[in-house]
Structure 1
Amino acid sequence: MDKKEKDIQCCVTQCETPLDQSYWNTRWENSETGWDIGQASPAITEYMKQYPDRNAAILIPGCGNAYEAEYLVATGFTDITLIDIAPKAVETLKEKFSGTPQVKVLCGDFFGHEGKYDLIIEQTFFCAIPPGRRKAYAQKTASLLHENGKIIGVLFDKQFDQPFPPFGGCPCEYIPIFEPHFIINTMDGCYNSIPPRKGSEVFINLIKKQQP
């Protein structure tokens, strides 16, 4: 086992148990939401401008304040599902979208969620789960997508020397995780990240592989 594998195993050992509903709800209650950039990710909004189907079923897991959902509603999308494990976050979201029938807000664990979607939007959820669960994430997202469905969004392209979220990585680590389930259409450096994350993100566009 090389150093990188040992570091990942260390993160899994120290973090997997406490990263539960209580952990994330406490973060929200204490306003410890450093991942929140205060707006929809420019990389995601730029992609969604040209997305052809405004009636596509869209899922945003670990959605936080769901700025992306606000953008989608404002630009005519009609079928958006948000899921977050933290009751405090969900309470805020239900108030925010109380008059917005295009948005469904669910409180629950993504890994237990059932449904079928055309598109999954990834924004700071992948980096919040322990590295040991990344293969399960890839498998779960594939199971939630219709044939030829997609994941689009951003992943970190940097390492974090810490035993708690966010957990970083690089494309060389991500590709083997996703390739069993997805065609890697795009996994390139993100040219339109927000300034604090410039040079430290990759944009992904992954297409679910057809089942044999």
Structure 2
Amino acid sequence: MASSAAVDVAGAGRQQALDGSNPAVARLRELIGGHESTAGWSRCWEEGVTPWDLGQPTPAVVELVQSGTLPAAGDATTVLVPGCGAGYDVVALSGHGRFVVGLDVCEAAIHKAKQLSAAAAGGDVGSNFFAFVAADFFTWEPPEPFHLIFDYTFFCALHPSMRAAWARRMADLLRLDGELITLMYLAEGQEAGPPFNTTVLDYEEVLNPLGFVITWIEDNEVAVEPRKGMEKIARWKRMAKSDY
């Protein structure tokens, strides 16, 4: 059970931006210990230090679902949410002709996601529409690639040295005709991370060489208050190899 101090830190994290002035982020960096270890992230979940966790679906996800612009082709459309945490976005994206896999390296996060999704469904975990998997994004091998991948507070949580590998895995895990949606948290002025300093160019530098191009990008107007003005949402498609 988390200490009262840890609970207070976690609570503060939901009211402030994801930077070093936030006590939850400062504690997060202590627990991670300067490297992206599974043990470090697990300690964050065990202590309840999850400042990225909104406690609800991301408003931009709800808006995307309501927009009717996401791919949906019966039960055949598959979606991946890497670094899914407590799984709110997984559940929000599911149904509507989409089966969603929430992936997280932390067993504690996946356990919480299963508990919350079951409670929200009144005991029915909705296995026809979503599933949660505890595995490493960089080594996990699904049975087939996905139609859609949604990334939020995952790219910026990775050390910049891992971003090229992140992009390669996105290419491996996405169908050639699939779509990548990145909700970008554009942190700046950080001396450490996570979250690490991030720009749109950082995404382009690792995705463009693999054929990914932005087809649509705009400011996230429905960002939660502490993150307003710091987020953009982009949709990416891959060009034919002959075009790059």
Task: Give the TM-score normalised by structure 1.
Answer: 0.84
For the residue of structure 2 that corresponds to 1:167, the secondary structure is coil
Determine if contact 1:160/1:167 at 8 Å carries over to the other structure. Answer: no
Among candidates 212, 217, 232, match of residue 187 of structure 1: 217
The residue aligned with 1:30 is 47
The residue aligned with 1:87 is 107
Q: Which amino acid in the other structure matches residue 131 of structure 2?
A: K
The residue aligned with 2:228 is 198
The residue aligned with 2:56 is 39
Taking CA–CA contacts closer than 8 Å with sequence separation of 6 or more, which of the two structures ends up with the larger relative contact order? 1
The residue aligned with 1:58 is 79
Task: Give the TM-score normalised by structure 2.
Answer: 0.74
Determine if contact 2:71/2:148 at 8 Å carries over to the other structure. Answer: no
* Aligned equivalents of 1:194, 1:97: Cα separation in 2: 22
Unaligned runs of 5+ in 2: 1-31, 119-124
Among candidates 189, 192, 208, match of residue 163 of structure 1: 192
For the residue of structure 2 that corresponds to 1:81, the secondary structure is strand
Structure 1 residues 52, 148: closer, same or farther in 2, change over 3 A?
closer
The residue aligned with 2:13 is none
* Aligned equivalents of 2:63, 2:101: Cα separation in 1: 20
Q: Which amino acid in the other structure matches residue 61 of structure 1?
A: P
* Aligned equivalents of 1:188, 1:138: Cα separation in 2: 21
Determine if contact 2:79/2:149 at 8 Å carries over to the other structure. Answer: yes
The residue aligned with 1:72 is 93
Deviations, residues 89-124 of structure 1 (Å, cap 9, x unaligned): 111123334521121211111011223100001111
Quote how far apart the aligned CAs of 1:191 are: 2.1
Determine if contact 2:72/2:98 at 8 Å carries over to the other structure. Answer: no
The residue aligned with 2:162 is 133
The residue aligned with 1:10 is none
Deviations, residues 56-107 of structure 1 (Å, cap 9, x unaligned): 100000001111122123x534411111011111111233345211212111
Bigger mean CA offset, 46-55 vs 124-133: 46-55
The residue aligned with 1:4 is none
Q: Which amino acid in the other structure matches residue 47 of structure 1?
A: L
Q: Which amino acid in the other structure matches residue 93 of structure 2?
A: L
Determine if contact 2:167/2:206 at 8 Å carries over to the other structure. Answer: yes
The residue aligned with 2:134 is 107
Structure 1 residues 128, 20: closer, same or farther in 2, change over 3 A?
same
For the residue of structure 2 that corresponds to 1:112, the secondary structure is coil
Structure 1 residues 148, 47: closer, same or farther in 2, change over 3 A?
same
* Aligned equivalents of 1:191, 1:35: Cα separation in 2: 18
For the residue of structure 1 that corresponds to 2:195, the secondary structure is coil
Determine if contact 2:91/2:130 at 8 Å carries over to the other structure. Answer: no
For the residue of structure 1 that corresponds to 2:222, the secondary structure is coil
Structure 1 residues 160, 40: closer, same or farther in 2, change over 3 A?
farther
Q: Which amino acid in the other structure matches residue 67 of structure 1?
A: Y
Percentage of matched positions with identical amino acids: 27
